[in-house]
Amino acid sequence: MSIRKIKKEDYEQIKALELQVHQLHQKARPDVFKKEESGVLNYDYFLQLLNNPKHHCFACVLDGEIVGELLSFEKAGSPAPFMKKRKVLYIESIAVDEQMQHKGIGCKLINHIKKFAKKQGFESIELNVWAFNNNAIEFYKAMGMNLKTMVYEAKL
């Protein structure tokens, strides 16, 4: 199992992983996530990610197949005058093939991005997780991540 940068030739495999995550979210929150799968990860957006030097995209490869992926970007500091400017790497997406979960792939991806971020001078890595996704929440806690903020919702 190895981690490498994502290449444009990886599109179909990355899209398949993103679709698995989308379906999980759509099932839990159909009021938020569209049922259509065509917009999950369109090719133009995928190329923008790969060509933007502020995006850092990694694949976990096992026996020539991508079994996990992590998409991240450099997050701009807060414009609020009362907040300190910080260098943060934001994880936009992390996905492990449903058939390959609980085999250390997610851990390998998170450990890789932590090392990468530290080497690049980032102060922290951040991500959002949906409140219904208890498996992901427990995983992030096990990886040493701590709750930073919460967003509340009132449906009208």
Does the pLDDT of residue 146 top 80, yes or no?
yes
Which tens digits make up the pLDDT trace of 123-144? 999 999 999 999 999 999 999 9
- Flag whether 155 is in a domain: no
- Flag whether 46 is in a domain: yes
- Flag whether 112 is in a domain: yes
pLDDT at 89: 96
CATH code of the domain containing 59: 3.40.630.30
Angstrom distance (rounded) from CA 134 to CA 91 = 18
- Flag whether 124 is in a domain: yes
Q: pTM for the complete prediction?
A: 0.91
- Flag whether 151 is in a domain: no
Report which of 46, 51, 52, 47 is spatially closest to residue 18, judged by C-alpha positions.
46
Which tens digits make up the pLDDT trace of 60-112? 999 999 999 999 999 877 778 888 888 999 999 999 999 999 999 999 999 99
Domain, as residue range, for 66:
2-142
Total domains in the chain come to 1
Q: Residue 39's pLDDT band (boundaries 50, 70, 90)?
A: low
Angstrom distance (rounded) from CA 3 to CA 100 = 15
